[in-house]
Amino acid sequence: MARSRSEYVCQNCGHRAPRYVGRCPACESWNSLVEEAIAPTAKTAIATVLPSRQRRDRLAEAPPQAVAAQPLSAIADVSQQRIASGSGEFDRVLGGGLVPGSLVLIGGDPGIGKSTLLLQTATALSQQQPILYVCAEESGQQVKLRWQRIAAHRSPNQADQQFYLLPEIDLDAIVAELETLRPPVAIIDSIQALYSPALGSAPGSVAQVRECTAALMRVAKQLTITLLIVGHVTKDGAIAGPKVLEHLVDTVLYFEGDRFASHRLPRSVKNRFGASQELGIFEMVDRGLEEVGNPSALFLGSRDQATSGTATIVACEGTRPLLVELQALVSPSSYSSPRRAGTGIEYNRLLQILAVLEKRLGLPLSKFDAYVASAGGLNVAEPAADLGIAIALVASFRDRCLRPDTVLIGEIGLGGQMRPVSQVELRLKEAAKLGFQRALLPKGQERCESDLELVPVSRLVDAIGLALQEAPPSSDRS
């Protein structure tokens, strides 16, 4: 019998080490290695029992396997109808609905609304087909209480008879229930709480998470079951467990949103059946998550009173254009090293724009603190927001107010030149729908059909001059 042995596995990246070390050599995280027992596989047991010559003879006598590959033209075309989740925003993030047999991994901070969204989805889907909800972290009574709060508007005669609840953490019992019930859609809440008796490690470890996900993936593909899996996140915001977990699934969604605000933003960072970086917008109310009808109004401040250092951009999240108000504050620094802070924008992008403004325009921003924030807490990472960030900083530095009917679109190069952006017509159409009348955009892209007054610019200095030439001084100076 093979001797049992153990190894140390990093709980962040899955790196394996024969002995304990305080810092993981792969991801450089401290105190993340946990000892796990290694169960000998059948192949290892055979290799231990048989001598080397007998192993060679056994492999030589093995018959060759038949080739199972087929040419692409021989594979039959199957049109699969997507499953509507009952929420237009959720379907938008998924690329048009749930694909049968796919795996969707949903991550986010605790209390952001992952379980609420999936419970609402299960309630809507159970009106037409059986749904299995595996609650590995709550009892059946606790899930029933949340369901009663979410479905309080339903009449008693619409009780969900096809909503099946399974409070279980044993992987074998869950797989057996999936094979018996065979629901079109199943929900696992959450994958870190599942436990496979075949592994000696504790629930939530790298080995357990990886093997449980792989087993569920095999069942989902064989039985064409759509699986929605909830995953915990680390303190850095990434999904806990090995990175291979995100490679196994078909779609990865992250919940975003300020915990002090009521809106919730699920974003697709990976989608094999739709566009990535697609964004859905919900509002958390007492009955759960509600869809937001006009998303751009959520990220726009009040346009009645002009304020220095504010600019409006049109950000594209996937295929959705959103108007976002950027707010900048430039003030004299009290320290030898000025402070830079960005909320909702990439920090390195802010440093790059500040360097371009100082080098190309001669603004002494190295002696001033600079703060930039996006209204509503939306994370804007695309380069098309560069022009809005730069003009908001200059407007705050000079204490000027921009015209409230102007939107700014453009990427800034390191030489101070304006670079073209994608989906310009879609951005301009959204701005015109909300009443904007003027748009500054890179030269060469003003040929787009739009009801707005298009002002093309080729250099950042020209854009700032055109944006601030009609800007009045701020009246809120103290």
Q: Each residue of 288-331: pLDDT tens digit?
A: 999 988 888 778 866 666 788 999 999 998 888 999 999 999 99
For residue 237, give the nearest of 206, 215, 259, 216 by alpha carbon: 259
Averaged pLDDT score across all residues of the chain: 85
pLDDT for 58: 55
Q: Residue 269 is encoded by which pair of tokens?
A: 């960072």
The CATH fold of domain 298-468: Ribosomal Protein S5; domain 2 (3.30.230)
Residues in the chain: 478
Lowest mean pLDDT among 99-108, 175-184, 370-379: 370-379
Instruction: Give me the residue label for tokens 């917008």.
Output: 281
Mean pLDDT, to the nearest integer, of 320-344?
92
pLDDT for 70: 83
113 known ligand binder: yes
Q: Each residue of 453-471: pLDDT tens digit?
A: 999 999 999 999 999 876 6
Return residue ranges of the chain for CATH 3.40.50.300: 82-293
The angle subtended at Cα 16 by Cα 11 and Cα 22, nearest 5°, is 65
Rg for the chain, CA atoms, rounded: 28
Instruction: Give me the residue label for tokens 């900083």.
Output: 393
Mean pLDDT, to the nearest integer, of 173-181?
95
What is the spatial distance between Cα 357 and Cα 397, in angstroms, rounded to a whole number?
11
3-state class (DSSP) for residue 203: coil
3-state secondary structure the chain: CCCCEEEEEECCCCCEECCCCCECCCCCCECCEEEEEECCCHHHHHHHHCCHHHHHHHHHHCCCCCCCCCCHHHCCCCCCCCECCCCHHHHHHHCCCECCCCEEEEECCCCCCHHHHHHHHHHHHCCCCCEEEEECCCCHHHHHHHHHHHCCCCCHHHCCCCEEEECCCEHHHHHHHHHHHCCCEEEEECHHHCECCCCCCCCCCHHHHHHHHHHHHHHHHHHCCEEEEEECECCCCCECCCCHHHHHCCEEEEEECCCCCCEEEEEEEEECCCCCCCECCEEEECCEEEECCCHHHHCCCCCCCCCCCEEEEEEEECCEEEEEEEEEEEEECCCCCCCEEEECECHHHHHHHHHHHHHHHCCCHHHEEEEEEEHHHCCECCHHHHHHHHHHHHHHHHCECCCCCEEECCEECCCCEEECCCCHHHHHHHHHHCCCCEEEEECCCCCCCCCCEEEEECEHHHHHHHHHCCCCECCCCC
pLDDT for 475: 56
pLDDT for 40: 54
Q: Each residue of 58-70: pLDDT tens digit?
A: 546 666 666 678 8
pLDDT for 5: 73
pLDDT for 350: 95
77 known ligand binder: no
pLDDT for 46: 38
Instruction: Give me the residue label for tokens 């064989």.
Output: 222
pLDDT for 45: 40
What is the spatial distance between Cα 266 and Cα 287, in angstroms, rounded to a whole number?
18
pLDDT of 273 over the 70 cut: yes
Q: Are 314 and 407 in contact (CB under 8 A)?
A: yes
Sequence letter at residue 174? I
Return residue ranges of the chain for CATH 3.30.230.10: 298-468
Q: What is the percent of the chain where pLDDT is above 70?
A: 88
Between 301 and 446, name the one with better pLDDT: 446
110 known ligand binder: yes
pLDDT for 317: 85
pLDDT of 47 over the 50 cut: no
115 known ligand binder: yes
82-293 CATH choice from 3.40.50.2020, 3.40.50.300, 3.30.1490.20, 3.40.640.10: 3.40.50.300
6 known ligand binder: no
109 known ligand binder: yes
pLDDT of 430 over the 50 cut: yes
pLDDT for 63: 60
For residue 467, give the nearest of 447, 441, 445 by alpha carbon: 441
114 known ligand binder: yes
| Residue 14 confidence class, pLDDT cut points 50, 70, 90 | confident
Phi and psi, residue 206, nearest 5°? -60, -45
Instruction: Classify burial at 302, counting beta carbons within 10 Å of its beta carbon; exposed 0-12, middle 13-18, buried 19 or more.
Output: exposed
pLDDT of 384 over the 80 cut: yes
